[in-house]
Amino acid sequence: MRELENLLLSALEEEGPLVFLTGAGISAESGIPTFRGKEGFWTVGSKVYQPQEMATFAMFRAHPEEVWKWYVMRREMCLDAEPNPAHQALVKIEKRWGNRFRLITQNVDGLHIRAGNSPERTWRIHGDINFVRCVASCIPEVLPIPENTDDMHCRKCGDWLRPHVLWFDECYNEEWYRYESSIAAASESALLVVIGTSGATNLPMQVGMQVAERGACLIDINPEPNPFSELAQRCEKGTAISGKASESLPRIAEIILRS
């Protein structure tokens, strides 16, 4: 506890953004299954697909109706869930630190925004399940998902609307997924707190490795060992907290709010 407090307080005294990077683990306690947990599969006909197969552009092109059914089901699960104390802790930290605060999230569930973090500072690097865009990009805008999800076609060009999420066979970019912004935040951060991610995707690992190489403060919160906990343990200014987000993040917020 003392070590954590010292690490946080000295990071706050330095210059640079305070970056919080979240994964599915932060929403697990709101009842949303994690990506690599057991509940994610989906059946099409007699075939069972893993999320890694469903969440691809190739699958959408082959079976758009099925992919939409899967997303509509997942979105309902997200809408039924409520933000938990870990989400709320991040809202308090943003209120306290304003412009210094950055939230990079892999979660598409919309819970950070519903909890009260600002859309501008919540970089949804894998998109947001509550939004759609035209698959043909006839209009560049990202739109709120229509209320009636029976007909998911673009009003303008008639092609499919697609979920505004990054699929496994697609690349990050700045316009939709804040790729460069995230790298820039990692290159100047005073603090990186990683919460509930298994480190299986590319951009979050780049962010973690860059912060570790710079020797900036790096804290991981996860009940399981993972690549970020290893990085954090190797850093002089790092620590890995083996625990649940809803318990550890409010403690961190409390220290940050006292400062």
Give the one residue of 25, 110, 163, 238 binding ligand OAD; rule: CB under 6 A: 25
Q: Out of 63, 87, 112, 126, which one is annotated catalytic?
A: 126
Please name the residue that has the structure tokens 């939230």: 103
The upper half-sphere exposure of residue 125, i.e. CA atoms within 13 Å in the direction of its Cβ, equals 25
Q: Tell me the Ramachandran region of residue 45: left when phi exceeds 0, alpha when psi lies from -120 to 50, beta otherwise.
A: left
Q: How many residues does the chain have?
A: 259
> Is 198 an interacting residue with respect to ligand OAD (CB under 6 A)?
yes
Give the one residue of 130, 226, 229, 239 binding ligand OAD; rule: CB under 6 A: 226
> How far is 232 from 80, CA to CA, in rounded Å?
34
> Is the distance from CB of 212 to CB of 218 less than 8 angstroms?
yes
Give the one residue of 89, 166, 190, 193 binding ligand OAD; rule: CB under 6 A: 166
With contacts defined by CB under 6 A, name the span among 57-65, 96-104, 148-156, 216-224 that binds ligand OAD: 216-224
> Is 130 an interacting residue with respect to ligand OAD (CB under 6 A)?
no
Residue 126 annotated to the active site: yes
For 35, other C-beta atoms within 10 Å of its C-beta total 21
> Is 223 an interacting residue with respect to ligand OAD (CB under 6 A)?
yes
* DSSP 3-state percent helix, strand, coil across the chain (nearest 5): 45, 20, 35
- Report the residue number, 36 or 61, with the smaller CB distance to Zn ion: 61
> Is 209 an interacting residue with respect to ligand OAD (CB under 6 A)?
no
DSSP state of 127: E
Which residues on adjacent β-strands are paired with residue 194?
Answer: 21, 220
> Is 197 an interacting residue with respect to ligand OAD (CB under 6 A)?
yes
Q: Which residues bind ligand OAD (CB under 6 A)?
A: 23-25, 28-29, 34-37, 55, 106, 126, 166, 168, 196-198, 200-201, 221-224, 226, 244-245
What positions carry a catalytic annotation? 126
